Amino acid sequence: MREIMNKSILTVVLVITSLFVMAQNPKLAVISFDALGAQLDKAQLTELLRIEISKHEKYEMIDRYEIAEMLKKAEIDNTSCFSKTCLTEAGKTLGVSYVMSGSADILGDALFIRLRMIDLAENTVKKEVVREFLNIPEKANTMISICVNELLDLPNDELIVKSLSNRESYESAVNNPYYQTLSLSGPRMGYTFFTGDMAKTIRAPKSQGGYEGLPAFFQMGYQFEKQYLNEGKWQALFEFIPIVSGLDQGLFIPSFTILNGIRNNKNGLEFAIGPSMNVTRETDAYLIGNKWVRQQDLDPSDPILLDGLDTKEVMDSRGTVDLQTYVVLAAGYSLKSGKLNIPINLFVVPSKDNLRYGFSFGFNVRK
């Protein structure tokens, strides 16, 4: 019996304590939130303000359903109730100690957030907060949170405040939320142009180790991408590009390129550099005079001393299959039409004797 009475007393104490705690928090009603020149939803902003204040448990908040019902009976339109007179009347109707309203105004390239709290007992504005931010409507929730903290004398993260307020602040995903990662993965096609000894070899007859072709190869392949850094308008990424060249001239020359680059998420402007490798046919040759001569083409009876002659592997259609490596420098830009991206790239393969350059383009649909 004593145990039951103890439990009952404890329950009563907890209930009284809860009521006492609730009684300590004055009632507050957020009536309205205006938005001039900003593509923001007034109802969402009003509810967002209520939620931000409720998080700190300093006031007993009146929910939106009770506000809508009671103000409708009093014939007060809360969606257009912004003046002190109207807010005071609405607060008296709701029986609260404080009422609040807010506004978001775009002036020039700035977004101003204003919060105002009215004390009904004193019939005065208890506190008003006005803050200037960068014009980033997508970050309105963070801006309202900053203003609420200031209204309630709570600390803010100064780094976030600076990134949303200071035009000189570094660009980041906080103050540049518009630019999602731009992915340009998709098919690629274009041409590679050869110069120097390679161009001569490609033009040469097959009997001389050439290809009897034009020093310009059509190429096609596919670009795969892996983004590893994205801040604001810029991203850093790896590009993996398998390509087949020479199909237009009856050749099959596979290559694989890995590029590390940086790209603008807004317009697709990018720069990249990286290694590449391709399969080719090469043979050992000696520089005799101004001409490279294959070792097997030398006359064994010719008393030419090979010692001391320059030697290297040269491109030759009669040679053995070999793997060639080089470095690619590339730049690009992306055209856009609706959800269609059309990346255009220029590239160059620097070399002492055999400079190569070319272009490629492709397409993909932004998801």
Q: Mean pLDDT throughout 190-201?
A: 89
Angle at 194 between CA 260 and CA 268, to 5 degrees: 35
Residue 258 or residue 108, greater confidence: 258
CA gap 125, 104 in Å, rounded: 19
Residue 11 has pLDDT above 80, yes or no: no
pLDDT tens, position by position, 33-43: 988 876 778 88
Q: Mean pLDDT throughout 127-141?
A: 88
Which pLDDT belongs to residue 145?
Answer: 92
Q: Mean pLDDT throughout 342-364?
A: 91
Residue 271 or residue 234, greater confidence: 271
CA gap 126, 129 in Å, rounded: 10
Residue 288 or residue 132, greater confidence: 132
* Count of all residues that appear for the chain in the document: 367
Which pLDDT belongs to residue 281?
Answer: 83
Which pLDDT belongs to residue 86?
Answer: 92
**And the tokens for 217?**
């190869």
Residue 22 has pLDDT above 50, yes or no: no
Task: Map out the domains of the chain with their CATH numbers.
Answer: 2-165 (3.40.50.10610), 186-365 (2.40.160)
Least confident of 33-42, 70-79, 176-185: 176-185
Residue 20 has pLDDT above 50, yes or no: no
Instruction: Quickly tell me which residue has 């590390």 as its tokens.
Output: 260
Residue 149 or residue 180, greater confidence: 149
Q: Burial-class residue 114 by CB neighbours within 10 Å (0-12, 13-18, 19+).
A: middle
Q: Mean pLDDT throughout 7-13?
A: 59
Asked if 218 and 191 touch (Cβ cutoff 8 Å), the reply is yes
To the question of pTM greater than 0.85 for the whole model, the response is: no
Strands 27-36 and 98-107: parallel
Segment (H or E) for 223:
strand 216-231
Residue 255 or residue 25, greater confidence: 255
Residue 367 has pLDDT above 80, yes or no: no
Largest Cα–Cα separation, the chain: 125
CA gap 291, 305 in Å, rounded: 16
Which pLDDT belongs to residue 21?
Answer: 46
Residue 57 has pLDDT above 80, yes or no: yes
pLDDT tens, position by position, 104-120: 988 888 889 999 999 99
Model confidence at 366, pLDDT cuts 50, 70, 90, reads low
What's the one-letter identity of residue 331?
A
Residue 286 has pLDDT above 50, yes or no: yes
Which pLDDT belongs to residue 2?
Answer: 56
Residue 3 has pLDDT above 60, yes or no: no
Average pLDDT of every residue of the chain: 83
Residue 77 has pLDDT above 80, yes or no: yes
Least confident of 1-15, 84-98, 318-332: 1-15
**And the tokens for 220?**
């096609």
Least confident of 132-136, 145-149, 330-334: 132-136
Residue 1 has pLDDT above 60, yes or no: no
